[in-house]
Structure 1
Amino acid sequence: MRRLASIVVAVALACAAVALQGAHWSYERAYGPFVENGRIGRTLTEPRFTIRVEQVQTARSIRVPEGPYGAKPQIIPAGGVFAVVIATVAARRSPVYVASATLHTAYGDYYPTDKLGGGILSQPLVTPLSYLRFQPGMPRRGVYLFDVPARALAGARLYVSDRDTEDAEFGFYRNDPVRFSDEAHVDLGISAADAVRLDHTAAQGYGLPGPS
């Protein structure tokens, strides 16, 4: 009888330990972003910024115009296809970067391509939204650019979050989550048939629009 009671107590403790482990929050869950969900064509309003994704286009290659000091135009090919996500972003109350961008797909997460160049001390000749510091009352229209396999477009969602300009002025170069940041998840509305169409109609030498 005593042995049976010991077994029951041991099983109960084991179950409690498993339950406690399952209840333990990860760092990202405890301190990660506050998420707002939306879809293409609608404005998502976060405490520090708004975003409206207007359109998704695709390209096999990007044409970069001639640059300063006699730099010649370039044609930059995609590894798969370039997903050109056209959006309008605005700061609400204070300057903000909306720079932590991810294309979330069934095949994994993709980050803005680095094929346009740029770095900590310089920007690409064609500036994507990831590099901009938004000012209140001054919405900017531009693009987030991803190099992805065409099959990954179906069901893709754009994730973007703000960065505190005081605490992380160069936050778009950091992969660590900013505590309690605001994150917008935008369903791009791409079906499997849409993904096939976007693959077949991807442009050659696409002229990437700069922010306006």
Structure 2
Amino acid sequence: MRRLWSILLAVALAGAAVALQAGHWSYDRAYGPFVRNGKIGRMVTEPRFTVQVEQVVTARTIRVPEGPYGARPQVIPANGVFVVVIATVAVRRSPEYVAAARLDTRYGHYALTDKLGGSGLIAPRVTTLGYVRFQPGMPRRGCYVFDVPPGALAGARFVLSDRDTEDAAFGHYRDDPVRFSAEARVDLDISAADATRLTRTAATGYGLPEAS
């Protein structure tokens, strides 16, 4: 009988350990980000910013106008297809950049394209919202541009965050997830049929809307 009770106790302890492990929050879940989901056409409100995605446009090539110092117009081709997310963004409390934008797809995450030129200090020839420093009470309308494979369009979601992992580049938190950030995830409502249509009708020489 004592042996039976020992076995039952061991089984119970093992079950409790498994339950405790299953109930333990992962690091990502415990430390952020705080996510708010939305849909295209509807405003998503976060503590520090709002975003409303108005339209999604696709393009095979983007036309960049002439620039200063004699820079000539350019036509920039996509590796796959450019996805142009047209949105209005506003900050609610203090001047800031809305730090990180990406496109979440069945193939993974895609960052903003670097084909338009520019860098962390120099804006591209066409100013997208990724280079705008927002002021409270002054919504800005413009676009975010991604270069993705055509097969990635269906089910894609646009994601905007108020912080970036680059904010924690040193010390103990290096390469951590975005800790305690606010993150808006907008379903672009692109079905398989929509993805086929958007790929087939992708524009040639599309002119990006400047941030206004």
- Normalization by structure 1: what TM-score? 0.88
The letter for the 1-side match of 2:32 is G
Mapping 1:13-162, distance limit 5 Å:
13-162=13-162
Larger mean Cα displacement after TM superposition, 196-205 or 64-73: 64-73
The 3 A distance-change label for structure 1 pair 161 and 191 is same
Residue 120 of structure 1, CA deviation: 2.2
Cross-structure match for 2:190: 190
User: Take 1:58 and 1:137, find their aligned partners in 2: how far apart are those partners?
Assistant: 30
Per-residue deviation at 1:194?
Answer: 0.7
The CA deviation string for residues 61-110 of structure 1, in whole angstroms up to 9 with x for no partner, is: 11122222222222211111000000000111212322311211222221
1:180 and 2:170 equivalent? no
Contact between 2:168 and 2:176, CA under 8 Å: does it hold in 1?
A: no
User: TM-score normalised to the size of structure 2?
Assistant: 0.88
Whichever residue aligns with residue 38 of structure 1, its letter is: G
Please give the alpha-carbon distance, in whole angstroms, between the structure 2 residues aligned to 1:12 and 1:128: 59
What stretches of structure 1 of length at least 5 have no aligned partner? none
Counting matched residue pairs gives 207
| Cα shift readout 1:5-57 (whole Å, capped 9, x = no counterpart) | 33323322222222222222222211112211111111111111111100000
Relative to structure 1, is the Cα distance of residues 116 and 176 closer, same or farther in structure 2, using a 3 angstrom cutoff? farther
Given the superposition, is the C-alpha separation of residues 92 and 86 from structure 1 closer, same or farther in structure 2, using an over 3 Å criterion? same
In 2 relative to 1, CA 175–134 (structure 1 residues): closer, same or farther, beyond 3 Å?
Answer: farther
- Superposed displacement of residue 169, structure 1: 11
d(CA) in 1 for partners of 2:146, 2:25: 31
1:110-146 CA-partner distances (Å, limit 9, x unpaired): 1111112222222211122122211011111111111
Q: 1:12 is paired with a residue of what secondary structure? A: helix
- Whether the aligned pair in 2 keeps the contact of 1:99 and 1:131 (CA below 8 Å) is no
* Secondary structure of residue in 1 paired with 2:21: helix
Question: Is the CA contact 1:90–1:134 (under 8 Å) kept in the aligned structure 2?
Answer: yes
- Whether contact under 8 Å (1:85, 1:145) holds in the other structure is yes
Is the 8 Å Cα contact of residues 48 and 162 (structure 1) preserved in structure 2?
yes
- Separation in 1 of the partners of 2:34 and 2:141? 24
Contact 2:168 2:175 in 1 (8 A): no
| Cα separation, 1, equivalents of 2:154 and 2:86 | 17
TM-fit CA distance, 1:186: 0.8
Cα pair 1:48 1:96 within 8 Å, conserved: no
- 1:96 is paired with a residue whose SS is coil
Q: Which residue of 2 aligns with 1:208?
A: 208
Q: What is the SS of the residue equivalent to 2:196?
A: helix
Contact 1:99 1:129 survives alignment (8 Å): no
CA 175–121 in structure 1, closer or farther in 2 if over 3 Å, else same: farther
